[in-house]
Amino acid sequence: MTAPALTAPSYDDVRAVTDEVWTTLLGEAAPLIDRLVPVGTPFDSVGVWSAAVTVSGGWEGSVTVELTTYVAGALTTTMLDLPHDAEVSDADVADAVGELVNMLGGNVKSLMPGPSVLSLPSVAAGRAAFSSDAREVARVEATWDGEPVRVTVHNSTGETHR
Amino acid sequence: MKALIIDDSRAMRSILRRIVTSLDFETDEAGHGQEALERMESGPVPDVCLVDWNMPVMDGYTFITKVRANPDWRNVTLMMVTTESEQQQIVRALAAGAHEYVIKPFTPDAIAEKLEMLGLVGGAA
Amino acid sequence: MTAQDGHPAPDRRGMTTATDTYESVSALVRRETSMIYDAGKEYLVEARLRPLAAAAGCTVDEYVKRLPIDPVERRKAMDALTINETSWFRDHAPYQVFSDVLLPRLLEARAATRHLRIWSAACSSGQEAYSLAMLLDQHLPAGWTHEIVATDVSTAMLERVRNARYSAVEVNRGLPATALVRYFARAGNEWEIVPRLREHVSTRHLNLAAPYDGLGSFDLIMLRNVLIYFDQETKHDILRRMRPMVAPHGYLMLGSSETTLDLPPDLAAQWRREQEGRVQVHRPATGALT
Q: Which of B60-74, B77-91, C16-30 has the lowest mean pLDDT?
A: C16-30
Instruction: Give mean pLDDT, residues A78-99.
Output: 94
B4 vs C12 pLDDT, higher one: B4
Within a domain: A5: no
| Total count of domains within chain A | 1
CA–CA dist C78, C32 (Å, integer): 8
CA distances (Å), origin B32, targets B52, B62, B89, C262: 8, 10, 19, 54
pLDDT at C34 over 50: yes
8 A C-beta contact, residue A141 and residue A148: yes
C41 confidence band (pLDDT: 50, 70, 90) = low
User: Is some CB atom of chain B closer than 8 A to the CB atom of C185?
Assistant: yes
Cβ of B11 within 8 Å of Cβ of A92? The answer is yes
Least Cα distance to B106 among B60, B52, B58, B32 occurs for: B52
Task: Report chain C residues whose CB lies below 8 A from the CB of B103.
Answer: 168, 171-172
Q: ω into residue C104 within 30 of 0, thus cis? A: no
A49 touches A67 (CB < 8 A): yes
Q: Hey, is the C-beta of B84 within 8 angstroms of any chain A C-beta? A: yes
CA of residue B54 relative to chain centroid, distance: 13
- Give the contacts of C279 (CB within 8 A, at least 6 positions apart): C93, C94, C96, C97, C253, C256
Q: Is residue A84 part of a domain?
A: yes
Structure confidence by residue, pLDDT tens digits, C267-276: 989 999 999 9
Best of B52, B86, B103, B109 to substitute, by most chain A Cβ atoms within 10 angstroms, is: B86
Q: Containing domain of residue A109, as a range?
A: 11-24+47-155
Give a yes or no: residue A37 inside a domain.
Answer: no
Q: Do B54 and A95 touch (CB under 8 A)?
A: no
Model confidence pLDDT, tens digit, residues A33-64: 888 888 878 887 677 999 999 999 999 999 99
Q: What percent of chain B stands above pLDDT 70?
A: 98
C2-6, C93-97, C103-107, C245-249: least confident range: C2-6
Interface of A with C (CB under 8 A): 10, 12-13, 16-17, 20, 24, 26-31, 33, 69-70, 73-74, 84-85, 107, 110-111, 144-147
**Which of A80, A92, A110 has the CB atom closest to B85's CB atom?**
A110
What residues in chain C have their Cβ under 8 A from chain A's Cβ atoms?
Answer: 1-5, 7-13, 15, 47, 50-51, 54, 167-169, 186, 188-190
* Of residues B112 and B51, more confidently modeled: B51
CA-CA distance, C107 to C87, in Å (whole number)?
Answer: 27
Contacts of A98 in chain B (CB under 8 A): 9
Higher pLDDT, C150 or A130: C150
The yes-or-no verdict on residue C248 having pLDDT over 60 is yes
DSSP of C218-274: EEEEEE-S-GGGB-HHHHHHHHHHHGGGEEEEEEEEE-TT--STTS-HHHHTTEEEE
- B9:A95 CB<8 A: yes
d(CA A97, CA A103): 10
| pLDDT on residue C286 | 78
ipTM for the complex? 0.92
What residues of A are in contact with residue C5 (Cβ under 8 Å)? 69-70, 73
**CA atoms lying within 13 Å on the CB side of residue C45:** 27
Of residues C20 and C288, the one with the higher pLDDT is: C20
> In this structure, is residue A96 part of a structural domain?
yes
**Cβ count near C283 (within 10 Å):** 16
> Which residue among A27, A29, A85 sits closest to C4, beta carbon to beta carbon?
A85
Cβ distance of B116 and C169 shorter than 8 Å: no
Q: Which of C13, C47, C169 sits opposite A20 (nearest CB)?
A: C169
pLDDT at C56 over 90: no
Using a CB-CB distance cutoff of 8 angstroms, which residues of chain A are in contact with residue C54? 31, 33
What are the pLDDT digits (tens) for C68-103?
Answer: 888 888 877 877 776 555 789 988 899 999 999 999
CATH of the domain at A72: 3.40.1550.10
Stronger pLDDT, A43 or C164, i.e. the higher one: C164
Chain C positions touching A144 (Cβ under 8 A) are 10
pLDDT band at A2 (very low <50, low <70, confident <90, very high): very low
| CA A50 – CA A122 distance, rounded (Å) | 9
Cα gap C271→C281, rounded to integer Å: 10
